[in-house]
């Protein structure tokens, strides 16, 4: 019997909280700031509007094993920054993952053997960036990062 009374009191307290919150929501000004936030907070810019600068690094391309013209193999990981707020661009990156891998593979596998010895990383990044941006329609990539760039004989 005591358990039912405790449950009844808890139920009445919860109903009272819901009613109090509803009344507060109707009385509160529509342009007031939130009472509390769940999750990551949003920064503000000078104009006072919300700006979320959630920049992440896209590493979905992974490590590529590229067969080269001189029968060597290149191991290469490509990454680049993107805005996590741009959902459509993020979805396009995931959808075109195979095209992005193919563009990098085609570029490096087409290089002549004499250029493979001393690869100009800046020129390679510029060309792959150009190829990637020609594939993408909903956004642009501004910078590329190479890691694990290794040629194995």
78-128 pLDDT per residue, tens: 999 998 888 899 999 999 999 999 999 999 888 887 777 788 889 899 999
Asked whether the whole model's pTM tops 0.85, one would answer no
pLDDT at 41 (0 to 100) = 54
Q: 6-10, 53-57, 139-143: lowest mean pLDDT where?
A: 53-57
pLDDT category of residue 40 using cuts at 50, 70 and 90: low
The whole-angstrom separation of Cα 64 and Cα 100 is 11
Measure Cα distances from 44 to 51, 53, 56, 70 in Å.
5, 10, 19, 53
With pLDDT > 70 as the criterion, what percentage of the chain qualifies?
A: 90
Question: Is residue 45's pLDDT more than 80?
Answer: no
First to last CA, the chain: 81
Q: Sketch the domain layout of the chain as residue ranges.
A: 2-38, 55-152
- CATH, domain range 55-152: 3.30.479.30
Enter the tokens of residue 147. Answer: 């890691």
pLDDT (tens digit per residue) in 133-153: 999 999 999 999 998 888 887
């Amino acid at each position: 019997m005591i358990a039912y009374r405790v449950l009844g009191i808890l139920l009445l307290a919860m109903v009272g909280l819901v009613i109090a919150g509803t009344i507060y929501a109707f009385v509160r000004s529509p342009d007031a700031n939130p009472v509390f936030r769940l999750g990551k907070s949003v920064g503000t810019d000078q104009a006072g509007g919300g700006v979320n600068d959630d920049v992440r690094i896209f590493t979905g391309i992974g490590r590529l094993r590229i067969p080269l013209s001189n029968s060597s193999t290149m191991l290469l990981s490509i990454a680049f920054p993107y805005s996590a707020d741009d959902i459509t661009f993020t979805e396009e990156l995931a959808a075109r993952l195979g095209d992005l891998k193919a563009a990098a593979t085609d570029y490096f596998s087409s290089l002549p053997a004499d250029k493979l010895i001393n690869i100009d990383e800046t020129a390679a990044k510029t060309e792959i960036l150009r190829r990637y941006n020609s594939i993408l329609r909903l956004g642009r990539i501004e910078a590329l990062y190479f890691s694990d760039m290794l040629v194995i004989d």
